[in-house]
Structure formats: C-alpha cells, structure tokens
Chain A
Amino acid sequence: GIQVEQSPPDLILQEGANSTLRCNFSDSVNNLQWFHQNPWGQLINLFYIPSGTKQNGRLSATTVATERYSLLYISSSQTTDSGVYFCAVGSNFGNEKLTFGTGTRLTIIP
C-alpha cells in the first residue's frame, strides 16, 4: 500500500515563529488532507488539498502531486497551534481509504 512519511517528527518553537511541515507519499493520490489533533484529542480538518495551494488565515498548504509531497506552513505561531499535525492520503485506487502519516508534534512555547 501507499506509504506516508512526515517530517520533522517533533518541532518546538517560540510563539511568533514560522514553521514548515512536510509530507511525502509513495504513490499517486487523489485525496490529501491535513489535520490538527489538539491536546484534547479532537481531529480538526485543516485542508483538503490533493493538488495546488490553499490558504486559510495563518495557515497555508501546497501539494505538488507530480513530485509526491505536500507542505503545511504555519506563520506567526500561537500557543493554540500546539498539537499533532497529520497528513493523510488516498491513492488513485481506493481513494475512500485514507492512509495516515505518523504526524508532527508541534509545541509552541510562550
């Protein structure tokens, strides 16, 4: 099956810093989502982005499907951005099923 790798596994930043999270995947996809899991365990949808670029406030994401990677940018980090960020992909053969990466744990220090 498709493999998903996220980097870095852990990231500790000062409040106000910018960050870039990366997601590499091993096969063609027609579904790619970024999630934020907050400290209470809730999974929050950030982006549905199988290709192209999207922005939502301080967050933006870019997926380059031909090169099999996606990037999540967080600018001017706030303590509420802390948590685990997951990338999940659905391959061209069975896009109903998401395969998750193991996540990037982001800690924002005041």
Chain B
Amino acid sequence: DAGITQSPRHKVTETGTPVTLRCHQTENHRYMYWYRQDPGHGLRLIHYSYGVKDTDKGEVSDGYSVSRSKTEDFLLTLESATSSQTSVYFCAISDRLAGVGNEQFFGPGTRLTVL
C-alpha cells in the first residue's frame, strides 16, 4: 500500500458539467500521475506532476486540466464533461531514486460516468 487514496470512487454526472477528481498521498512522493483506462486501450497517461506547481501533459490531455498546490494532492479537472470522458481514472505515484529506478504505484481508481 503506497498510501494513495482517490475521491470520489464513483461519480455519475451530466454532459457539460465540471468535475474534479482528487488524488491524495501520504508519503511525500515527488511524482504523481493521472491515467484513464478504457476497453481495448490499457491505461493512457493524461497529465503528470514532478513537483508542486510543476505539471506536464501526457498522451490524452485534451479536455483535462490538473493542479498540484500541495505535495500530497493532485487534482484532475474536466471543465465541461463529455460522454467520451466516461472511463476509469487511476492516480499513480513514484519517486526517481538513484539505483532503484522509477517504479509507479497505483491508487484504487475512480469510475466516472458522463450521461
């Protein structure tokens, strides 16, 4: 257990509404990530953070924004949710440690349905 929680765990919302998902970690990990999982695609990276206020885009970032104002929290926002954003969202953490590498650990996931 890498001390990662995600909230909410399940959410149903309507097209056009804003949605914010939260990832919280308790062990001071430097890197945090948001992925989405869809049938036939495995997991795909949306955004990641390499420190407070330092974020970068992944391969499927359109329609998503992120913020990291504290080490322990990484927020994913859908400004105006669309049905194509119905998915399971996973948060992950890692630390790049010399001689150890950059192993990522995943949270329990958030199932989002956009009607």
Contact = CB atoms under 8 A, between A and B. Distances in A.
Q: Do A and B bind each other?
A: yes
A83 interface: no
A41 interface: yes
Interface stretch (A54-62, A64-72, A73-81, A95-103): A95-103
Contacts of B103: 31, 33, 45, 48
Contacts, number: 55
A100 B44 contact: yes
Interface of A: 1, 4, 30-31, 33, 35, 41-43, 45, 48, 50, 86, 88, 90, 95-103
A86 B43 contact: yes
Given A4-B42, A31-B103, A96-B31, 15 more contacts: A31-B102, A33-B103, A42-B109, A45-B103, A48-B103, A50-B101, A86-B42, A88-B43, A90-B102, A96-B48, A97-B45, A97-B58, A100-B44, A101-B42, A102-B42
Interface of B: 31, 33, 40-45, 48, 50, 58-59, 88, 90, 94, 96, 101-106, 108-109
A60 B41 CA distance: 25
